[in-house]
A and B are shown apart, each in its own frame.
Chain A
């Protein structure tokens, strides 16, 4: 799959952008704060239906304007698909999206229209950051291949917010614990059901990602290092303990165990919103004990695994967005990454502050762009 054209209107610092990308490598250079990351963010928006940097939609509107628009054409084996997203801060609904001319009733239906993998300096957070970062890593990938997953995530968040509101209200009331539990039950059963779907899907995806990451890591380290991915349920140390049980039963138990604590602090202490993913090298946690270099290689391996994962799911490689990362990788890693995307004919958008010479083994189509204060220009 590749992105052929992109159109931004009043998005971040772009008043009007029209751009045609090549299916090969697209080098985007420009000084700091000119809009390189904004461009990448706009493209990735089409993949996950929102801004990855947790920015609110209003913040994405060009200052002084009232709406933004992202339009793109994606090409895959079946042909060309037009994707469009419009956000208007004064209209209701504020956000509208269409794929292939069909208006979507839910943003989650965007799933799969343009699949992409993003690698930026922020990606280090997958290893170094909070559990939230690792859950996002999983969720952004899964929602691109599963419309249902995105819907479950949305529903789960809503159920959770409602349950937490009820917990806060019930907590201080002079009722018997049994009565409080009874009042929570209608939310809890739905939360357990929805939550177990989420966890089951995450487990299934990790099962596919893990061997791909392992393979990539071994390649990058000449067979020296083995990377392991493990899903950690917040209520048990390891998923293995819950293996013979089904997830819903496990969650119901977790609910039982923490109900008093939940009521005391007015928030839900169990469920997929508290789970984590551990990344280890030969049994040693990469977050705590990995060197800077090992962590970097680990993230690269995860990204390569993502590319293969998407191909396994959809039959095609996704688009690869490399925002400002080339300079962070040493020469050897850079070469390995470039050779990988070349071999597999993956479309790639690379941003950097300086134009660099790509030492490619084989010839590939390359297009070069210069970004300057929200304007983009192709140059040769």
Chain B
């Protein structure tokens, strides 16, 4: 048995495939590609196909890591090519690598956000991002109950740029990710809408990279 990390690009209509549906999609692709999976022992054997970090619905990605445990002696390139022969539209294996870091080590993700243009929007957003205070409400769970928590998105973001070009506003930003501290690009946009008083509509959001605490690629 060996564990490989498949990096999946997700573009176009495929962005509407949810996290759970992506898991099913991946399982089926592996089966179609006739890649030999490793199964757990025991009464109800199951394979190991795990996405390292759920991607929010509606977000595209340049490379989502999926860890798969394999049997047999397919090389990483063979795994990539056989999967790419059978992937649905918009989903493509960019690379297959050996899994080195653990999903628990994920600390940040970098997003590229494209907004429908509005007068003065870029400046307002820059000011809001620089303010250090971007309150937002986050849905969470306390035990079984659903609760809303107040958070400050500014505490959950890293480097960013805001650009106004070709009739669009582009935000490039690092946000906290992983199971402990995290902020989705949607919560950022909500906070920005509240702070700028504008209803911000996005055109496209892409997760460009998943990063470790030292900002190196996962």
A and B associate in one complex? no
**Chain A interface (Cβ within 8 Å of chain B)?**
none
- Which residues of B are at the interface with A, using a C-beta cutoff of 8 A? none
